[in-house]
Structures are given as structure tokens and as C-alpha cells.
Amino acid sequence: MQNGPDELSLVFQALADPTRREILSRLRNGPTTVGELAEPFAMSRPAVSQHLKVLERAGLIERTATAQWRTCTLRTEPLDEASAWVERHRGEWNERFDLLDERLRELKGQTDA
């Protein structure tokens, strides 16, 4: 039995919040200081820091400290894993929706007759 959430669950939990998704979007352009990441958000620095901790725990960012600068860097590997998981299941989900559509058409045909 597992203690706590698995890595994929941590990634999806991190991605569930719009602020964290925006932080990841801002990191697409390269490493960014914590101060620069916090600028556009109407929240305290500790609140931003909490979001960064969630992203770091999920493996989506890496934080480094150089002198007085705290920098965050995007790590895409967990996103690749989440994307691969979705793709593996997409075919099954589409197949089930197709079967549901077919059944609904059959039922509609029975009520029209």
C-alpha cells in the first residue's frame, strides 16, 4: 500500500489550480525569479510561495538560490508523463462515448417507430 499520493496525482493536483497553471505558463520563457513570478498576482508572497511548494512537490518546477536571488525553472518531464497517461486512456474514453452514441441512436429509433 502506498503512503500518500503518487507522482501523477501530485501533478494533476498542482494543475488543478489556475494560479499554478499561470505560474507554469510564465516559466515557459525560461527561469524566472520568485519576485517576478509573484508580480501579477494579487496575493501575498507567502501565498505565492505555497503555490511554488505545490509545484515543486509535483516535480513541475525546480527552485534554486544564488546569493539573494531565488529562481524557478520549469521541469516538463511530469507534464510529459501526465500527457502520456491521458493519451493512453483517450482511446478507451472515445470508444465508450461512441458506444453510448450508438445506443442513444438505437433508443431514439425505437421511440420514433
Mean pLDDT of the chain: 90
Could you tell me the CATH number of the domain that includes residue 83?
1.10.10.10
Grid cell, residue 96, equals 465508450
Domain that holds residue 16: 7-112
By the 10 Å C-beta count (0-12 exposed, 13-18 middle, 19+ buried), 33 is classed as middle
Number of domains within the chain: 1
pLDDT at residue 1 tops 50: no
> Which tops the pLDDT comparison, 113 or 71?
71
In which band, very low, low, confident or very high, does the pLDDT at 3 lie, cut at 50, 70 and 90? low
Mean pLDDT of 39-56: 94
Q: Residue 2: inside a domain, yes or no?
A: no
pLDDT tens by residue, 55-79? 999 999 999 988 888 899 999 999 9
The answer to whether residue 24 is domain-embedded is yes
Q: Is residue 1 domain-resident?
A: no
